[in-house]
A and B are shown apart, each in its own frame.
Chain A
Amino acid sequence: MKIKFLLIILLLLFPQLSNAAIESRELANPEQQVIYENLISELRCLVCQNQTIGESNADLASDLRRQVYEMLQQGQSKQDILLYMANRYGDFVLYNPPFKAKTSLLWLGPVLFLVGGLISAFLFIRHKKQNKLLLLEDNPEQTEKLEKIRSLLNTGDRS
């Protein structure tokens, strides 16, 4: 039992072991190296869902990394490569998709939720306030009670 526990701790100390399958590639130009690292963390691995091609050791991810690397070596720009990928795998491959009619809900959704939330909060608060006012103004029984309470508070209960 203790050994198992120690082993788990030991494994947790070496998280990079899980990345062992991902090769490291060096580009001659350090600027391109930065673009390479950027690109592989911006492209989605299509078979592993919710992993970038830089994180995944799937076969397809490694092919896509090779493609990115080769295109950079040929002197293509980041935009060229993103376009190349999107033309073959769709916007789905991009973790940072462009704003289009098709992706508008994706981009505007959070704003819509915020606006919706603010409007309903506003209505809710106003409704509450009105209820309170109604309670005080329109109900003679209530006013009577309220006055009684006030007078009690002011003068104190002598009973």
Chain B
Amino acid sequence: MVKYIIPLLLFSILSIFLAIGLNLKPNEIPSPLINTQAPPFNADQLQNPLQKLSPTDLKGQVWLLNVWASWCSSCREEHKVLNHLAQQKMAVIVGLNYKDSNEAANNWLNTLGNPYTTTIVDPEGRIGLDWGVYGVPETFVIDKQGIVRHKLTGPVTDDNVQQLLIPLIKQLQME
């Protein structure tokens, strides 16, 4: 009897590991920035070139940092969702225009609408590197103390907004 059970057992264990392997998302790398201070930057603003923006300017409010670029096709999909979220005025949304030209970025915002309270520019991807950005779009949630609390890799969807972002923002507003 044992003779038959052992291979079956081994096969079951193997299947479990294979099933876990199939469901892993190797493209999503957990960010070590979660629960640490937001990496500092002093960035030019797209529509207000004379003024710089740094994370300390946003202390005391819950804000999102959305990394986007006009060359990124899934950003287009995400943009509608962001527009919708911005209408609810729940949190400040800062856009980080990543490795893009100001002209293309302005064009994009003029045609698709502008969900961002302000957009900062990162033409060489240096701020992005400091924030551990490895693909666009990415979205970070930062709390009132300037601590990164969550990171979304890939386009923000309606489900993300309803199930994750809105409850999280509400919770962080209360803190």
Which of A's residues lie within 8 Å of B, judged by CB? 46-47, 49, 59-60, 63-64, 67, 86-90, 92
A117 to chain B, nearest CB (A): 13
Q: Is the interface of A mostly helix, strand, loop or mixed?
A: helix
Asked if B32 contacts A86 (CB within 8 A), the reply is: yes
Are A46 and B33 CB-contacts (below 8 A) given A64-B129, A88-B132?
Answer: no
- Supply 16 further A-B pairs (C-beta < 8 A) apart from A60-B135, A86-B32, A90-B30: A46-B29, A46-B134, A47-B134, A59-B99, A59-B125, A60-B125, A63-B125, A63-B129, A87-B32, A88-B39, A88-B132, A89-B32, A89-B134, A90-B29, A90-B32, A90-B132
Sort A-B residue pairs by CB-CB distance and give the 7 closest, nearest first.
A88-B132, A46-B134, A90-B32, A63-B125, A89-B132, A92-B29, A60-B134
By the criterion CB–CB under 8 Å, are A90 and B31 in contact? yes
* Residues of B participating in the A interface, judged by any CB pair closer than 8 Å: 26-27, 29-33, 39, 99, 124-125, 128-132, 134-135
Of A86, A88, A90, which one neighbours B129 at CB under 8 angstroms?
Answer: A88
Is the contact region of chain B dominated by helix, strand, or loop, or is it mixed?
loop
Question: In the complex, A64→B132 CA distance in Å?
Answer: 11
Which B-chain residue is minimally distant from A49 (CB atoms)? B26
Instruction: Determine whether the beta carbon of A88 is less than 8 Å from that of B29.
Output: no
The answer to whether B29 and A89 touch across the interface, beta carbons within 8 angstroms, is yes
Nearest CB of chain A from residue B155's CB, rounded to whole Å: 16
State the CA gap A86–B29 with chains docked (Å): 12
- Residue on A with the closest CB to B31? A90
Contacts of A63 in B (CB 8 A): 124-125, 128-129
Q: Which residues of A contact B33 (CB under 8 A)?
A: 87-88
In the complex, chain B residues whose CB is within 8 Å of the CB of A47: 134-135
A-B contact pairs, 16 of them (CB 8 A): A46-B134, A46-B135, A47-B134, A47-B135, A49-B26, A59-B99, A59-B125, A60-B134, A60-B135, A63-B128, A87-B33, A88-B32, A88-B131, A90-B30, A90-B132, A92-B29
Query: Considering the chains assembled together, what is the distance between the CA atoms of A46 and B138 in angstroms?
Result: 14
Q: How long is the Cα–Cα vector from A60 to B125 in the complex, in angstroms? A: 9
Which residues of chain A have C-beta atoms less than 8 A from B132's C-beta?
88-90
Query: In the bound complex, what is the Cα–Cα distance between A64 and B134 (angstroms)?
Result: 10
